[in-house]
Amino acid sequence: ETAVFQTPNYHVTQVGNEVSFNCKQTLGHDTMYWYKQDSKKLLKIMFSYNNKQLIVNETVPRRFSPQSSDKAHLNLRIKSVEPEDSAVYLCASSPGGYAEQFFGPGTRLTVL
């Protein structure tokens, strides 16, 4: 099966903890993305990454960082979570910038 996979599905943690979310795509795409979708369903891009270039949304706090071992994997690390980080984090991939993005099922983060 070719798709975008994310783990975990859900994560509940305390303020100040570090969390890491995994994303893997088996579509052979060159570009991967991380989005944050809040409770109002607003969809905000956080990072886009391919083998050559990392593009960071300048509004993303520095405690967020992407981590990639190869073009099929793009993980997201949050160093010290805050309550406003509670959201669904969606990973996506695409063949390139001007093409359809395929989204994973998302990871729902709850920060207590």
Positions in the binding site for another protein (CB under 8 A):
33, 41-45, 48, 53, 55, 90, 97-101, 103-106
* Least gap, CB of 19 to another protein (angstroms): 20
* Token digits of residue 64: 């967020």
Q: Smaller CB distance to another protein: residue 53 or 69?
A: 53
To the nearest whole angstrom, how small is the minimum distance from the Cβ of residue 52 to another protein? 10
Compare residues 28 and 97 and give the one whose CB is closer to another protein. 97
CB of 55 to another protein, least distance (A): 6
Closest CB to another protein among 22 and 105?
Answer: 105
Q: How far is CA 25 from CA 2, 4, 35, 71, in A?
A: 7, 4, 15, 9
Which residue lies nearer to another protein by CB, 2 or 14?
A: 2
Query: Least distance from C-beta 80 to another protein, angstroms?
Result: 27
Tokens coding 11: 């994560």
